[in-house]
């Protein structure tokens, strides 16, 4: 049987790469991009595939349960790949309830629609929940997150994602719903909204604005090119074990300050500026409250069982990412006007 897949959050950063991959690689599937188009959703991200015959866009909010259930019926949905979320940690500190609504209640609405529409046939349908390594909390200087690391979320964002993971698992255990969860590390690449570290700093360097490094810049993240995350989702969606979870990561840890210095060096080269110009913009600011020290994913399970590994090195991925932002200044200008300005000013009011 061919599939009719709802991909939620398909107009966002990661979702747009997942939608493109599925639309191009699986012409026999119907791909329904379900997105509310919040500040983070942008149909510009999908211009190249919007007229593909197997692609449909539905503007809908996952908080609207009647609309969601109607869309399941209208498209005879066979599977879900769920990425829609409030995704930015700093925003979750300013406004935790928005994260509870979208990330927890929105996920439960989708689970209920799946439970109703797939009743009696759960084994032949899959709910793929896209989650984060942040649910595991923080590491010290050593060690890795594995699939059996206990959950210990520290921010309102990660608590809401942990809650959503638990609901997905509970619907599998209680009702028998077919599901799989992926917990991925930090992504970077084209279409990344410039509130997150890498695109924010690229944008600020272009405009000679300060680069606000939180605390001493000692925090460590494990970075993965977004197209490799989309490939991992494809792999797990099709071949992952039912009722199970897979960690996804780049085996690519960077201390923030080292990453920022590398980015500054590459930006100087690409913009033809004197070495050191961008680094001079670094400004240490008050730390993020509850700032997790270190994330590091052990991605050996997805590698050994399913054969997935990253396809690009960090240097290649970062260089491609910078080139994309330098060639897409209109995209950057459009998303950094209006509401973004208000957010950015509030964010730094007391730093």
Closest by CA position to 116, among listed 153, 148, 161, 68: 68
What's the length of the chain? 351
Helices (DSSP H) in 197-255: which residue ranges? 197-206, 226-239
Q: Which of 32, 36, 110, 198 binds ligand NAD (CB under 6 A)?
A: 36
67 binds ligand NAD (CB under 6 A): no
Q: Which of 35, 61, 79, 133 binds ligand DAU (CB under 6 A)?
A: 133
**Which of these is catalytic: 134, 195, 234, 292?**
134
Pick the binder of ligand NAD from 6, 20, 33, 35 (CB under 6 A).
35
Q: Does 197 bind ligand DAU (CB under 6 A)?
A: yes
Choose between 36 and 302: whose C-beta lies nearer to ligand NAD: 36
C-alpha torsion 54→189→342→153, nearest 10:
90
Active site residue 133: yes
Using the contact rule CB under 6 A, the part of the chain among 81-89, 281-289, 297-305, 329-337 near ligand NAD is 81-89
DSSP labels, 149-169: SPP---SHHHHHHHHHHHHHH
Tokens found for residue 117: 């529409």
Please indicate whether residue 134 is annotated as part of the active site.
Answer: yes
Which of 61, 79, 86, 133 is catalytic? The answer is 133
What end-to-end distance do the CA atoms of the chain give, in Å?
55
HSE-CB at 83 with a 13 A cutoff on CA atoms is: 28
By beta-carbon proximity to ligand NAD, the closer residue of 162 and 264 is 162
* Per CB under 6 A, 61 contacts ligand NAD: yes
**By CB under 6 A, is residue 138 in contact with ligand DAU?**
no
What residue 126 binds from ligand DAU, ligand NAD, none (CB within 5 to 8 A, per partner kind)? none
Minimal distance, residue 56 CB to ligand DAU, in Å: 26
Distance CA 168, CA 108 (A): 8
* Cα→Cα distances 6→40, 57, 311, 350, Å: 19, 10, 26, 41
Among 3, 75, 169, 196, binds ligand DAU (CB under 6 A): 196
The reply to whether 13 sits near ligand NAD by the rule CB under 6 A is yes
Q: Tell me the C-alpha distance between 247 and 131, whole Å.
A: 9
Judged by CB under 6 A, the chain residues 18 through 77 that form the site for ligand DAU are none
Residue 137 CB, shortest distance to ligand DAU, in Å, is 11
Q: Side-chain half-sphere of 328: how many Cα atoms within 13 Å? A: 21
User: What are the two backbone dihedrals, phi and then psi, of residue 227, each rounded to the nearest 5 degrees?
Assistant: -70, -30
Residue 29 a catalytic site member: no
Q: In the window 246-275, what residues touch ligand DAU (CB under 6 A)?
A: 256
- Characterize the bridge pairing of strands 55-59 and 253-255: unpaired
Binder among 22, 41, 81, 292 for ligand NAD (CB under 6 A):
41
Count of C-beta atoms within a 10 Å radius of residue 345: 9
Among 132, 191, 245, 278, binds ligand DAU (CB under 6 A): 132
Count of residues that interact with ligand DAU, criterion CB under 6 A: 19
Which residues touch 339 (CB under 8 Å, ≥6 apart)?
Answer: 39
Nearest Cα residue to 113 out of 60, 36, 57, 39: 60
Which residues are known to be catalytic? Answer: 133-134, 157
For binding to ligand NAD (CB under 6 A), which residues are involved? 8-9, 11-15, 35-38, 40-41, 61-63, 83-85, 87, 102, 106, 130, 132, 161, 184, 186-187, 193
For binding to ligand DAU (CB under 6 A), which residues are involved? 87-89, 132-134, 185-186, 196-197, 200, 212-214, 219, 221, 256, 288, 295
């Amino acid at each position: 049987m061919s599939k009719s897949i709802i991909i939620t959050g398909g107009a966002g950063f990661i979702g747009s790469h997942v939608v493109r991959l599925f639309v191009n690689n699986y012409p026999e599937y119907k791909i329904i991009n379900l997105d509310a188009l919040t500040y983070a959703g942008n149909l510009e991200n999908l211009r190249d595939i919007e007229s593909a015959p197997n692609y449909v866009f539905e503007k809908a909010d996952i908080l609207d349960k009647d609309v969601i259930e109607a869309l399941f019926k209208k498209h005879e949905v066979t599977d879900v790949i769920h990425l829609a979320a409030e995704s930015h940690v700093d925003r979750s500190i300013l406004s935790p309830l928005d994260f509870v609504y979208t990330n927890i209640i929105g996920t439960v609405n989708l689970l209920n629609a799946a439970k109703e529409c797939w009743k009696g046939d759960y084994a032949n349908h899959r709910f793929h929940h896209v989650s984060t390594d942040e649910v595991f909390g923080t590491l010290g200087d050593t060690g890795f997150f594995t699939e059996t690391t206990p959950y210990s979320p520290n921010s309102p964002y990660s608590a809401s994602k942990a809650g959503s993971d638990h609901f997905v698992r509970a619907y599998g255990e209680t009702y028998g719903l077919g599901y799989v969860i992926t917990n991925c590390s930090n992504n970077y690449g084209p279409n990344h909204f410039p509130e997150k570290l890498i695109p924010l700093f690229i944008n600020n360097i272009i405009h000679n604005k300060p680069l606000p490094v939180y605390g001493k810049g000692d925090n460590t993240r494990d970075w993965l090119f977004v197209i490799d995350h989309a490939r991992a989702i494809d792999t797990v969606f099709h071949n992952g074990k039912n009722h199970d979870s897979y960690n996804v990561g780049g085996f690519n840890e960077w201390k923030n300050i080292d990453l920022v210095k590398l980015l500054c060096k590459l930006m100087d080269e690409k913009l033809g500026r004197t070495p050191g110009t961008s680094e001079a913009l670094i400004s240490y600011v008050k730390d993020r409250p509850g700032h997790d020290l270190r994330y590091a994913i052990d991605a050996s399970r997805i590698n050994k069982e399913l054969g997935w590994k990253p396809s690009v090195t960090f240097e290649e991925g970062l260089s491609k990412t910078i080139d994309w932002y330098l060639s897409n200044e209109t995209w950057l200008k459009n998303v950094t006007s209006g509401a973004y300005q208000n957010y950015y000013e509030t964010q730094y009011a007391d730093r």
